[in-house]
Chain A
Amino acid sequence: MDQLLSLAAENLISPIILSFVLGLLASLFRSDLSVPEAAAKALSIYLLFAIGFKGGVSVADHGIDGRLGAALLAGIILSAGLPMVAFGLLRVMTRLERLDAAAVAAHYGSISIVTFVAGTSVLESQGIGSEGYMVAVAAAMEAPAILSALWLVARGGGSDARGMDSALLREIMLNGSIVLLVGSFLIGMITGPEGLAEISSFIVSPFKGVLCIFLLDMGLVAGRGLREGSGVLRPGVLAFGVVMPLVGSTIGLGTGLLLGLSTGGIALLMTLSASASYIAVPAAMRVALPEANPSLYLTLSLGVTFPFNLTLGLPLYVAVAQALTGG
């Protein structure tokens, strides 16, 4: 318990979390502080490239683990299965309509890559290693949840779902962040440690500083979302935004233990299972389920679950993974 509290305290006063809090507070107090849209986009490209590349290098350095295929498959199953759990919880905890519940559930099956990046940063600062291919698992977990949500709506006999046309499927599978993450992972795997040595001054040293600025922007966006969407957060919905990450991370924990992942790998799988998408899934939901309320799922995933994971969730997942693996 002491270890958990000290890890949580250490996490809370880290530059990345404090940058996020600064953005959140600035936004809640209606400061005009903002990060230009193009700059935020450039920062996210940098972070995705760096995290993908480093994951690929790690795989090249340590060799392809036999668990890679199993971990990828587990990621896909988790992403497809977690929306069912989320949907069940939403039906019990809230009075949301089936359509809104399915749309929210899709977000909790998919992942937040920024939470994942922050998780790797916490692990690095603790000196805990993880499997490099967890980046590929993260990419694999982006899309299946969307299909599960559409299935949940179709199963209810609703005609609300526009359905999965080929254009939407292509947009989901070739989503920019998936392409960049997988592409940079492959580049890292092909070029290995020599490739990393060539560009490490760009993608290793400045990484945490860039993450701070990016999280400052995420804090601003989350704060604005909370300000504008707080009306949709009824007590049951709000509680779901905190309970679901804990449920998801527990399922991720069990899966990680079954797969025999390292302490860091388990903590990252817990993080992925606990996180909720706010980029890929909202876009897909706007196309496939336009009648679902966007302020509900965006406020919940970005305004409640993301800050929860970033501040309290990450140290909790790392501490639990350490406690159960002795790492």
Chain B
Amino acid sequence: MQTHKAKRVAIIIEAVMESRLTKALNDAGVTGYTILPVLGGSGRSGSWNRAGQVSRASGMVQVVCIIRPDRLDKMLEAAFAVVERHIGVVSIQDCEVVRAERF
């Protein structure tokens, strides 16, 4: 089957910033993304667990989007403007998709 090269960007960010990030992605022309709940983790800001939070606002989410490589820079600029000052991780991976027109 024919596949096409794409970039998979995963952004782990505080739940309170979710709507701001997805708005920035939409404004940057990203055609789709998936939001996943995060159970817990550990990093520069210490360890963290979803069960220890008093509300969802204190939690974290992962926003995953797959885009064409030529759209990556614009998308990262938009995302980074939101993420820059907050707790979070931005990672980029090469991937392949079957239906290129969807990205």
Contacts and interface: CB of A to CB of B under 8 A. Distances in A.
B8 interface: no
Given A221-B52, A224-B52, A302-B54, A286 B14 contact: yes
A162 B55 contact: no
A81 to B, nearest CB: 25
A221 B47 contact: no
Interface size band for B:
20 to 34
B95 interface: no
Contacts of B53: 221
B51 interface: yes
A37 B52 contact: no
Given A279-B57, A295-B46, A290 B86 contact: yes
Instruction: With a 10 A CB-CB cut-off, give which of B14, B46, B47, B57 has the most chain A CB atoms.
Output: B57
Interface string B87-98: 100000000000
Interface string B75-103: 00000000001110000000000000000
A36 to B, nearest CB: 9
B58 A283 contact: yes
B54 A279 contact: yes
A34 B50 CA distance: 12
Contacts of B35: none
Contacts of A295: 45-46
B31 interface: no
A167 interface: yes
A37 B47 contact: no
Interface of B: 14, 16-17, 19-20, 45-47, 49-58, 85-87
